[in-house]
Amino acid sequence: MELKRVVVTGLGALTPVGNTVPEFWENLVAGVSGAGPITHFDASNFKTQFACEVKNFDPLTLFDRKEARKYDRFAQYAIAVAKQAVEDAAFDLEKEDLDRIGVIWGSGIGGLKTFEDEMEYFVTNGKIPKFNPFFIPKMIVDIAAGNISIMYGFRGPNFATVSACASSSHAIGDAFNYIRLGKANAIVTGGSESTITVSGVGGFTAMHALSTRNDSPLTASRPFSKSRDGFVIGEGGACLVLEELEHAKARGAKIYAEIIGVGFSADAHHITAPHPEGIGAEKVMQYALDDAGIEPEAIDYINVHGTSTPLGDISEVKAIKHIFGEHAYKLNISSTKSMTGHMLGATGAAEAIACILAIQNGIVPPTINFTEGDEDPEIDYNLNFTFNKAQKRTVNTALSNTFGFGGHNASLIFRRFEE
């Protein structure tokens, strides 16, 4: 069968560096860090006391107080960005076939704070089994997709993807496949996460995954620097409306970009560490290129996973060099996690938006916090990591990488839209 073309017609973002898409993009280009002391709970006894939190988010702008209590924060973030993206896509829902609009949503962990709160109440109140009736529907990962579909009446494909930090990239990839196979006209897709909690920060700290640079949170996320000591945990949500091209054209939709290829792979190596030679990362990029039907030389920009962990940054660079060869030195590469922190299950969608806006605006956002003299001998600095300052260049095609604990890898390729 002939596969249908799929385009992006709506965007929404709620991130540590901006609560709307324009604000998110403006701060990425300016190299603004979203890190600061943790305010969601008292972290004074923790080894890591800072994070990239969403700022000035008020759920009461979306729900009344009673309704807001029915949603974990990760689900509130999902609804907030879905609302932005659906409004941006400018559907006339009275004219749409709602059976052919779906929601596919990613989150690595889901309602962690809800789980914590219920367990704390159980333990501190004599272990009497009196639980909130909304406990389970607030906590489960799939509820974000369900809530969005209920809000709009979307009755198409509806489910959640869970692959740790690759969750929302897998969601976008699945949405792309459903549409190009003709199973939906449009899908609202992306991801959200809110794990800056006692157990979230405590658990990642116990794994030695987080930076402990408490004296300088703004500079703690430093991908590709020798002194990197772990990622900075972030939170938020991001949403894309993917739409079948002819459907989008028929209703006069604005088109941001076209999604042309996806790749999924597994490291099959370790529960948390990447393959040291980047084999899974190498394969997932090759799968995406093959799916798109393009050569490596077509890629202008890679938004890398680039978490600022000692092992991860090295293995991803090795993979890029293996796949792209000499062209690797002509690419722009950047890690926007240096600014947003690692938004876990939401990060793939946020970074997909960064790729799309790089194509739209001809600007590559930077990798901040690199200083001369902080070179890692295992990293090739002849590559253009777009250190510290955004760079203007024509970006026709961009690739986004996300890799998750368990060895889950996803790559997405976006291209400038042309008829």
- Report the SS3 class of residue 418: coil
- Report the SS3 class of residue 364: strand
Catalytic-residue membership of 165: yes
* Residue linked to tokens 């943790």: 38
Neighbouring residues of 411: CB distance < 8 A, sequence distance ≥ 6: 169, 262, 263, 284, 285, 287, 288, 399, 400, 401, 402
Q: How far apart are CA 223 and CA 365, in angstroms?
A: 14
| Helices then strands, each counted (H, E), the chain | 13, 14
> How long a stretch of residues is the chain?
419
Q: How far apart are the first and last CA of the chain?
A: 21
- Catalytic residue (one of 40, 52, 165, 355): 165
Task: Please answer whether residues 411 and 172 qualify as being in contact, where contact means their C-beta atoms are separated by less than 8 angstroms.
Answer: no
**Positive or negative torsion for Cα 339, 364, 348, 186:** positive
Catalytic-residue membership of 305: yes
Task: Please answer whether residues 379 and 265 qualify as being in contact, where contact means their C-beta atoms are separated by less than 8 angstroms.
Answer: no
- Catalytic residue (one of 40, 170, 275, 342): 342
Q: How far apart are CA 418 and CA 333, in angstroms?
A: 24
Q: What does the angle CA 403 – CA 138 – CA 24 come to, to the nearest 5 degrees?
A: 50
Q: How far apart are CA 22 and CA 394, in angstroms?
A: 20
- Catalytic residue (one of 40, 247, 275, 305): 305
Nearest to 210 by CA among 199, 219, 221: 221
State the DSSP code for 18: B
Catalytic-residue membership of 40: no
Active site residues: 165, 305, 342
